[in-house]
A and B are shown apart, each in its own frame.
Chain A
């Protein structure tokens, strides 16, 4: 092990710390003993890489909308692209990314049987909600949102002239940032976070 890799100090012990130590050993012993870890996904030098950039470039983020038990058989996706900007990335003055959202729904229902559908976005705690728009006959609707974390919701309504949803929620989705994973509850972090 290189001298610079690790310098450790021994201080008094508590049972919780012993447990944490055990977790650390399980997680990190190979690196600590070997000094270095292996790359997670090594790429052979000179490998031929032919990526389907065309497919990726049009849809940086695609949200699959999850049907609820009241989905009436609808499925759908929401595609996020950056709103146009002279700066290459679009944010609001307070720093929220600004996305254009395009929702595309699918159903086997006959057109005449499609209820009035409205798409919404809301913050995860539902403290703020915004009407994205009424789903059109082509089962699409587009709008713009400048929140970093949000839910996409599609509801069935009896009137288009509503500013909050009343009808059943058919589909929900979450913004890509919903994939963020809190580490606060992990044992190895609790001590560092002042929980013990």
Chain B
């Protein structure tokens, strides 16, 4: 997770703590809400089931009472042969005596009550004006085809009818309990069907009865018949007109249809019926009437059930938010007081960065990490002050030494002949030399001068090592070389002399390699001696040859060392090229040496060229090769071109 940038550590820490705390709080609230709901649902289920079952039980008791009376009555009619008057009195007594019973009749099969009377069914029912009498056996009310008569006859069993509107009878919505009775056979066994005894229960009365059963403010109830028809309903217009299934079809709800089937199939149940019924999201508990297969449902609105915990949740959330705001304020103040020394340190750092090292952090007196940081910071400023002072002194000292060294380097260079052409009046030879020092002051040297009109003396040398010691050694060598060569002795004598002088008390073990030559300008004869120096190259007309290995060791090491005199003849147009190892041992960035092979290659190309041209070409080749690799050693070259005596 990428956090946004904060300008203050205090705000950042506080916000992070707040986010964490709020998250935990929200989780706790959500969990307790969930658990509370579960508990409430469980309790509600228990309560609703109990309620539905107890109401159903009460209703059934009423219905059962009706059924018992009717059954007893039927038994009476079956066994006792009553005349018309007594029958009517009995029926009337049943209706007036029983509160539950709206109306009652005894309906006979044709011609079984009186041989001449086809239909006989005296009916008494309650009305606002008292108990009324109707003879149902009339042309307008053919009771033989009514369900309440027909069904018990067919089934030979007592039956509760579906609720119906009894037009021409009681003229109310009612349900009828019909109990069949039979002729008595000779042996006392049951004979042929003779008629039914009925008792009507008014749906209105049932509804009132239900209404009187207090269900509580969270629930509403309804009753459906065996067919699912609403006997009482959450909506008045549904009563007797709609069934659970017709409503389910209208709503297109498979769920309601399923609930309806379950209500009529199961003894009791509890389902989350959502908002299928009017009144919103609810639970439904139901219980079936064993006596007639009806089912009573109690609806519990969730909003009412959960109202208490929702209030609790709101209250908790409100308290949580208020607490969070308070916590934020307190944390912010605390965090700011913790980070105050940090801000002070930040200021101090800014001051130090601009060079003001005298910062006072004594106000930060703490034992924690910040205190230790402040102490370390204070120590750092003290150390810094100290180091800066030392550095300033050291820099001054180094600048002085560097200044002196550069003067030394200038002096060193001034000891070497550097004016070219060196002998502009001489046409019989030319000599050219160059010394490119490495970064540090070094120890390469060369020298040349005319011994007399006919002899040119020259030398090139390389002192081991670098720096001031090498430069001093080089200066001594140059001085000794000049004095030794001035006497006109042969080259091996010059080296010999130098060696003796330098070997004495040479505790530092420094040495110099040196090639020394004397060229006879009349004859072209070159006498030379080599003390451990790289063999020079001779550029002849058609080839470049390397002179043989040195005739003696490096100069300044062995006092008893001997140097061999050697000679060769230079023909007009030939050039002797001498150099120090700075040329062949120049490195390129890939750590390769320039090498004698490459030098040889360059010189091959420069055969017959003038001395300055040859030196320039080699210098160019070395620099191109080395690219930007730092120069490790001085590069020194000296070239002598002999033109021959005729040109003098």
Tell whether A pairs with B.
no
